[in-house]
Structure 1
């Protein structure tokens, strides 16, 4: 241990810094380590909470780099960074990502605050929020030591520091107790909610996520945030920490200003995303017909999500614990479709499996059979399927005795079966057996009110899947996409969003200049919109800067000339301070 008379400035207030490290760790859901300028561990959480007061070994290269250069160090994949080359502890290193920030006091680097990921989930958490965490910890370090050393006014000091830091975050922050009452809201959150501090503390608030993907429960998603008699659509992350909830609003709030009326009495069906009137009516109908064993025929254009609806019906039925078997009648060759559907017995035909094969209808026994593209089923098989539905039994190919089955059939098509019947391509009697309960899925062009919701749904889905940062979306882009005709429906929108998150700079806003040329030139956007997008996309100067970028650069330059305070300039521009710094660097406005 270090003698008391040689304690560093950080070690002198070690208990307070340790409490701070624990609070920081619980908020950011990462491990925290704080060392002083002698590489002595002052505070830490998890494995880093051990050996406090002891000097770290010589292989603490990342921490040493921050101390010596007084610069931030980011490592998203530890052990692969050049600084880790030759480290004797490399093979046993448990760290997966590292963000270290120097603590400057009186122009000297007196220590390092580091955020550390030791699990894959924490690694994703750092990668998803890298810019926000970097700006946040940098701000922490700027006030951290000064506040603690200059004003050690008692045990409550750490809470004052904590409140000051959150209050100055560019992200909106809400802390809600187990009784759903607001305990804390910073100014950014109040601004987003259109509320005042005095009116918000103690108010009952509810969060309803508009995304139901269980595999993507982490990360940004849209929430209906309800309080008093109003509701707001807010993009953010909801974390449960002990008996409290922490709602971190996204850096970019790119939704429209209109509020959302929560449908408390309407069913919320997982994966079936939509709040427009046709979708609400559809969800109500699905919840009513799901318990019935009657056949359902889903009609809708390609890409409207017919299988999603079929699975929703199955999940809401009494058969949800039984198999859901889906088969695309257009994807299986006609000569194989019969054996796939009905199965066959040993030796039924040349090349048959020695053990025979159970058909998909039999595999769906007591469950649900989903027949997609039913209009492509050959007439001979239509007759056999009709007999199976009427007799509730099937006869595998080559079998001498039928096999009883209990299935619910849900079929789907994007074709006009009435015309198929008139042309002799589809059996009328089978049509009436399948069309007991008809469901029509609206095309995306009839769901304009859902476009923005779906944009953020797919942003959430693809950024998590591809491990990319959740971007903002310019209002002009949302406006253009609402007027697009969407011939490919949801599938086309999903593909477009995946394209955009791959081309947008990390953490930036998707603007019209990033829309793919084929969408702009397709003629499906209004002419005036196409003209503006084409001109802005086409106008590039000798340095390859688009007209939009030049306009943005000029606006930032003018805002910086009017304000000496960059926070005020960012507020006028409608962007966060972190984005402003990135834009300054991008456009080389470093002297501003």
Structure 2
């Protein structure tokens, strides 16, 4: 053991160990904690990334066991392991599973690399991939010994460590220098890009996110990866580490073409995701009309994103630093709408606040007022709103003194206001005041080219928000979603993707079996074209096993008979090892 006044072997190279821990965590989608022989935390991710250098309490039994025995320790259900008996922190322990591997240096255990599950999904990941993870971490640990610890000052050795680890990763990796030239690329990345190493090493490569990096600071996004005359649409994470970029490709890639790449000179408007012709026209129009103070009327079906467009106009206008006030005219009771819009003075009516209240129109002064569902505004209030627009002033309830306001009004509706005018439900003069610049939002069924882009946009949004693993999505699912009519438009698609990321097993592929039956049936082709879809999804099969399942069972049985190694069998079948184990259990192939 080292004298207490010197840094441990691992602590001496702590920044490198920390970078390694982050990469290992990203690859395996688990938390990582690395401690030295004194039980001091050298590196970690998530909750384990805090208190680096602090000595852990004496009750860290699992870590202490690995240090003392120099043996690996596996716990798939924490708190039930014999080592956990008597632990004072047992009841408050948040760890659900643990895999600890010793780091051996000069015949001494100098530390422990531990993989930790803190969620049920991560617990299943460790249980399903136990041997693969164990072999992988043991292999990486041996690299640390032979390549890193023997020469702590050799930067070239550190490079060899990462090069070896990158080459052995299952997901594609590109390392790009500050000159935008590719410095490292592994076989998985070459396969995704469809190139040879000679055709990409040293080439200039550029990454352009399609879903706006300002909104999503981390996690999987669709990127246009460009080099030479090639442009590929790749799902992955882009990390900037000092002067280099590390692009980690998702395990599952699903895209039909790279034609989704937007034209460079088109306006990139936050949250307005779409590259079809109607959306390109809309984005160009928004960029032109945003600086104007004129009123805008947005017409579109429910769920098409009318408020998103209104906020985009505000952000591109000269009023962007001023308030954006949104009012849903259908959500506020008619008797309260006037006081909400125009405010009231002290004592204006029974129950009024003693100090009065500033109305939302006045709150939007110098900014933008967004009136959603404008068709539901009562006729009496329409007259007051018209006066506010024409005179640029409002009169709070109970007040005799008007208040000047400077606002831009953006209104929205999913109703036919011309018919409302004919029926006497909407003032014609107000309509012409609001409809100075009309914008029509296309429904999702007219944006078939954008479906795949939007699917991945919402996959990213919900997996990041819910802290779930980014799943794959089968081509037949994308094809079916493109055929579906989407009565609820973007809102319906977002809700569906949120549902799917909750029900799909962690890190697996969303196939047709996960889709709600009503959506599958609604998205079917006409009868003469449905043969292939019927084979893929037939929940009413009387025998209990569909033809597809029988075919799948036979393919798995044959692959297992050819390979003793289940990882090789999974690779041949084109599925993950966790999926293979789940299918083996499903089809009762345990003896295979």
| Corresponding position of 1:539 | 541
Cα–Cα, structure 1 residues 293 and 510, in superposed 2: closer, same or farther, change >3 Å? same
d(CA) in 1 for partners of 2:184 and 2:141? Answer: 24
CA-to-aligned-CA distance 1:332-356 (integer Å, 9 cap, x gap): 1222211111111122222222221
C-alpha change, 1:409 and 1:125, in structure 2 (3 Å) is farther
**Displacement after TM superposition at 1:584 (Å):** 4.3
Q: Are 1:44 and 2:46 matched, yes or no?
A: no
Equivalent residue number for residue 47 of structure 2: none
Counterpart-to-counterpart distance in 2, 1:323 and 1:353: 24
What TM-score comes out, normalization by structure 2 length? 0.83
Asked if the contact 1:131/1:578 (under 8 Å) is kept, the reply is no
After superposition, residues 364-375 of structure 1 pair within 5 angstroms as 364-375=364-375
Deviation at 1:265, TM superposition (A): 0.8
Cα distance in 2 between the residues matched to 1:85 and 1:314: 60
Deviates more, 1:312-321 or 1:212-221: 212-221
In 1, the alpha carbon distance for the partners of 2:554 and 2:591 equals 14
Answer whether contact 2:512 2:536 (CA < 8 A) is retained: no
- Count matched residues: 568
Q: Tell me how far apart the structure 2 counterparts of residues 242 and 583 of structure 1 sit (CA, whole Å).
A: 43
Secondary structure (helix, strand or coil) at the match of 2:519 reads helix
Identify which range, 484-493 or 332-341, moves more after superposition: 332-341
| Counterpart secondary structure, 1:320 | coil
> 2: distance between equivalents of 1:329 and 1:576?
50
Report the equivalent of 1:102.
101
1:332 is the counterpart of 2:328: no
Note closer, same or farther for the CA distance 1:415–1:42 as it changes in structure 2 (3 Å cut): closer
Q: Give RMSD over aligned pairs.
A: 4.0
Relative to structure 1, the CA distance from residue 189 to residue 124 in structure 2 (aligned partners, 3 Å threshold; closer, same or farther) is farther
Alignment TM-score, normalising by the size of structure 1: 0.83
**Aligned residues of 1:128 and 1:468 also touching (Cα < 8 A):** no
The 5 A counterparts of 1:30-109 are: 32-33=33-34, 44-45=42-43, 50=53, 57=58, 59-61=60-62, 64=65, 70=72, 72-73=74-75, 86-88=86-88, 99-102=98-101
Q: CA deviation at 1:222?
A: 1.5
Q: CA separation of 1:199/1:34 partners in 2, compared to 1, >3 Å: closer, same or farther?
A: farther
SS in 2 for 1:45: strand
Give me the whole-angstrom Cα distance separating, in 2, the residues matched to 1:550 and 1:418.
57
1:8 aligned partner: none
2:461 corresponds to 1:461: yes
- Please, which runs of 5 or more residues in structure 2 have no aligned partner? 26-30, 45-49
Look up the match of 1:312: 312
Aligned equivalent of 1:470: 470
For 2:354 and 2:59, the matched residues in 1 are separated by 67
SS at 1:113's partner residue?
Answer: strand
Superposed displacement of residue 394, structure 1: 0.9
Aligned twin of 1:141: 137
Residue aligning to 1:7? none
Structure 1 residue aligned with 2:28 = none
CA contact (8 A) 1:303 1:492 kept: yes
Q: What aligned pairs does 1:52-451 form with structure 2 within 5 A after superposition?
A: 57=58, 59-61=60-62, 64=65, 70=72, 72-73=74-75, 86-88=86-88, 99-102=98-101, 112-115=112-115, 137-144=133-140, 156-157=156-157, 159-212=159-212, 216-451=216-451
**Aligned equivalent of 2:573:** 573
- Residues 43 and 492 from structure 1, CA distance in 2 versus in 1: closer, same or farther, beyond 3 angstroms? closer
Native 8 Å contact 1:393 1:402 kept in 2: yes
| Mean CA deviation greater in 512-521 or 139-148 | 139-148
The answer for unaligned runs of 5 or more in structure 1 is 4-10
Matched, 1:24 2:26: no
